[in-house]
Amino acid sequence: MSSYRQLLYHLVFRTHGSQPTIKQEHVSQLYAYVTGIIKNKDSHLYRINGVENHIHILTDLHPSIALADFMREIKASTSMWMKNSGHFPSFKGWAEGYGSFTCSYMDLGNLIEYVKKQQEHHSKKSFEDEYRLLLMESGIKFDEKYFP
């Protein structure tokens, strides 16, 4: 008998201090790097996007990989790559922690569109307001001390 799984995650993480250090003119190289990490983990990237101070990743996660290990590798590897690439000179690293939201396959199309439209979305709403809303909609209790 084969094993089947569908482990969809909407992952969100921000730059240190929410500083706008992800320069959009080089973001396609960053996203390609993240895509490679995800593929090497036998996982599938559905969509990645973000703005100057945070990134959204919509991915399937292989069941042999712990989410915390997956995120640690993405954040550590991209941080090192961004600092060494010369394309993100103001980047100091990622903030501690991340948001992780499990998703239904039936919501995949809407979530892909949501991640795809980050620039448009953030012309009206700050990262902090977006993140608070994601946490509340997911029923996650949070501490306001982590919101500037």
Tens digit of pLDDT for each residue in 110-129?
999 999 999 888 888 889 88
DSSP strand pairing (8-14 vs 99-103): antiparallel
Tokens of 100: 């992780």
Is 33 among the domain residues?
yes
- Residues 1-11, mean pLDDT to the nearest whole number: 84
Query: Crossing angle of helices 27-40/67-85, nearest 10°?
Result: 140
Q: Which amino acid is at 65?
A: I
Is 69 among the domain residues?
yes
CA distance 93 to 20: 11
Is 34 among the domain residues?
yes
Is 115 among the domain residues?
yes
Tell me the residue ranges of DSSP E strands in 52-98: 54-60
Q: Are 63 and 5 in contact (CB under 8 A)?
A: yes
Q: Quick one: pLDDT at residue 14? A: 96
pLDDT at 3 over 80: no
Dihedral (Cα; 62, 45, 41, 138), 10-degree rounding: -50
Is 104 among the domain residues?
yes
Phi-psi region of 17 (alpha: psi -120 to 50; beta: other; left: phi over 0): left
Q: What is the CATH number of the domain that holds 124?
A: 3.30.70.1290
CA distance 36 to 24: 19
More confident: 4 or 46: 46
Residue 102 lies in domain:
8-140
Angle at 133 (CA atoms; ends 14, 55), nearest 5 degrees: 25
Total domains in the chain come to 1
Q: Is 3 helix (H, G, I), strand (E, B) or coil?
A: coil
pLDDT at 91 over 70: yes
Is 67 among the domain residues?
yes
- Residues 16-34, mean pLDDT to the nearest whole number: 96
Q: What is the pTM of this model?
A: 0.92
